[in-house]
Structure formats: structure tokens, C-alpha cells
A and B are shown apart, each in its own frame.
Chain A
């Protein structure tokens, strides 16, 4: 089966600009996650979707970050305006359905964002 697809792989922007990342999870996976991985740290959850609904966005900086999953399939994460501290790898992951943690997440390769 195809894995979790993410694009772009790399992005360099200036601070205060906006940027968007795209994720297409494994076909049929209802639960989708966005994680932020700052250099030297472990991934941190930003937002969790179940189909097209938000389950947990408590760690999402909502003044500048937004995410959507309108049709319950692919998802977009946006940052506007970007700050230097947003430089990180943004990872998308999916599992078949909420409560299916036993399967383990399937992660995409990530988008590496550099804000200059």
C-alpha cells in the first residue's frame, strides 16, 4: 500500500511570509495527525483529525497556525505569518481509526521548513 505522502519536502521562506504543507494519508485511514519536530527534539503533536473533525488541537498556536481536512482525506497545515522559531520538520501521520493505536502510526517523510 502507498505510504503517507507529504509535500513539499523542503521549503525556505522569510519570516512573516505564509506557507502551506500538504498531507495525503494512507487510503482509508480516518485519523490523521500533524506533528512538529524542532531540531534536537522529539515530535510534538500539533493537531489530530478524525475524518474531517478536529479531535485535539490544544498544542496548535492558533494565532498563526491553521489546519483543515475538509473531505476527511488529505489535509493542509498553514502558517501565517511564519516566525523564526517555526523552523522545523512537519510530520504527518495516520492510523486506520481512532483507537487503533496498536497498529502504530505511519509517518510521512516530512516537510522541512526553514524560516530566515
Chain B
């Protein structure tokens, strides 16, 4: 069965520092991969997605993620974090384009210090 692992429950960084949030997935074929962000009391907002092609994908708010098949990973990065990036981040995987069902990881809570 598909699964998504986000090893870091909570990460704290200083404003202006770089950020990397880890995501590992379990699935035999190439999955469809997503990163969502959830601010307190809000729904989830799509940051970026990977379906095929270039393994480095750019998203909104200056985020990027790299798909590494050999490591079954899809880590999210940002070169310089802003205080407004404090939120919960979820990695998700879909088995196929037509299945539509997303399997989410447990999330990583990002705290940003000034």
C-alpha cells in the first residue's frame, strides 16, 4: 500500500535561514507527489506538484522540491525562510492521475524565529 513518511514532526528555523522538509514515499511506480501548506484555522493550499519530467519543481512562495527516485524522496526546500512561512506542511502522494485519492503524511510543523 502507498504511504508517505514525514520524519520531522517539528522544525524550528531562524528567519532568513534555509529550510528543507523531508518526505519519503512508498510506492512501486512513479507516483504523483504534492506539497501542501496549512496555516492555523485554514484549509490546505497547494505549494507544488510533481508528475513527470524535470525532477526539480518550482512552486509558489519561493518553494521548490526535488524528486529523487533512488531515495524515494520528495523534499521541500526554501533558500530563505520568512516569518510568514510558519505553518504545517504536508507531503502527499497519489497512485495515479485518475485515482485522484491523495495519501497524506503526518505533517511537519514549521516554527520561524525572528
Where the two chains meet, the residues of A that have a C-beta atom closer than 8 Å to any C-beta of B are 4, 31, 33, 40-45, 48, 55-56, 91, 93, 95, 98-99, 101-102, 104-105, 107-110
Contact = CB atoms under 8 A, between A and B. Distances in A.
Nearest to B9: A40
Contact of A101 (B94, B104, B107): B94
A95 B100 CA distance: 9
Kindly list the 9 A-B residue pairs having the minimum CB-CB distance in the complex, ordered from nearest: A42-B104, A107-B43, A104-B46, A107-B44, A99-B98, A109-B43, A43-B104, A42-B106, A108-B43
Classify chain B's interface size.
20 to 34
A101 B97 contact: yes
A9 to B, nearest CB: 8
Given A43-B104, A99-B97, A101-B100, 14 more contacts: A40-B106, A42-B106, A43-B90, A43-B102, A44-B104, A45-B102, A93-B43, A98-B98, A99-B98, A99-B100, A101-B99, A107-B44, A109-B42, A109-B43
Interface in B35-81: 41-46, 49, 51
B25 interface: no
B86 interface: no
A38 to B, nearest CB: 10
B92 A109 contact: no
Interface of B: 4, 32, 34, 41-46, 49, 51, 90, 92, 94, 97-102, 104-107
A69 B101 CA distance: 18
Given A43-B44, A43-B90, A102 B49 contact: yes
Contacts of A45: 101-102
Contacts of B102: 43, 45, 105
Contacts of A93: 43-44
A26 to B, nearest CB: 12
A4 B43 contact: yes
A41 B43 CA distance: 14
Contacts of A31: 100
Nearest to B43: A107
